[in-house]
Structure 1
Amino acid sequence: MEEREKLAKMDLLRARFDISYARAREVLEANDWDAVLATIQLEQEQATAQAAPGGFTEELKVSGRDLVETLKRILHEGNVTRIIVRDPKGIEILNLPVTGAVVFALILPVLTALGAVVILAMDYTVVVERKY
């Protein structure tokens, strides 16, 4: 890969995530200069950092057939601030901020639609951000 292409990818990450050239290069090198994978890594790091004060993040591996039921259970547990669902490749298919004012009935249509879309044989990662 040309140095010009590397610099363009570093500039992209710097602009999007407000990081240094050194950090952009580090993340890109760790991901074989794949800008999409580097972006995903930086998003995950930011999400973890944002969830840290006053809360914590947990990741659950769930099969497609259990995905909707797991999401319903998590919502009923309370103290959830955000739910992120990623497919096996790490691509977000759902990023749902949850506030205390959100009524479960409002989220149910989203879960129903998600249940119709998911492929049952796939395994998903559910990231749950909670507050203490």
Structure 2
Amino acid sequence: MNTHPGKVTQTLDVSASDVSNSEGVTVTESEGKSAERVVVEELKISGDALVAKVKELIHQGNIRRIIIKNEEGYTLIEIPMTVGVLGGVISAAFFPVIAAVGIIGAMVAHLTIVIERQESADVNDQAK
């Protein structure tokens, strides 16, 4: 459920190929044998808080991808988290990315961060 204003959460099966909903909130569950799920969150954030939020997300460690969009919904930068993050530590490979995120935050006032998190099926079973 959506408990935070300005935050949209979607839960998607990794094997799901098509997800669409006019309201922007979709929960897709499949009877497939997938052991992992992807949770997609959208956060509305101001430009000055962008770098701190991205660093916080990188430290969490279970993030698959971060997408930063402007007010119109255009993707400004897409950051895959498959390389360079070990144990939630920001490596030297991410310093240019963080610099780019800082420039975007300085130039754009209102942004949306789309966060894809990877969760195991065991975590979801315990929550039910």
TM-score using structure 1 length:
0.55
Q: Does 1:102 align with 2:84?
A: yes
Between structures 1 and 2, the one with greater strand share? 2
Does the alignment pair 1:73 with 2:56?
yes
Residue segments in structure 2 that go unaligned for 5+ positions in a row: 1-17, 29-35, 120-128
Aligned partner of 2:43 in structure 1 is 60
Gaps of 5+ in 1: 1-18, 20-29, 31-43
The alignment of Structure 1 onto Structure 2 pairs a total of residues equal to 87
User: How many angstroms does 1:121 deviate by?
Assistant: 6.0
CA contact (8 A) 2:69 2:113 kept: yes
Deviation at 1:127, TM superposition (A): 0.5
Determine the C-alpha separation between the residues in 2 that align with 1:77 and 1:121. Answer: 25
Give 1 or 2: higher helix fraction: 1
> What secondary structure does 1:88 align onto?
coil
Runs of at least 4 residues off by over 3 Å: 117-121
1:128 pairs with 2:128: no
Residue 115 of structure 1: CA displacement? 0.8
Query: TM-score with structure 2 length normalisation?
Result: 0.57
Give distance in 1, aligned partners of 2:40 and 2:95: 23
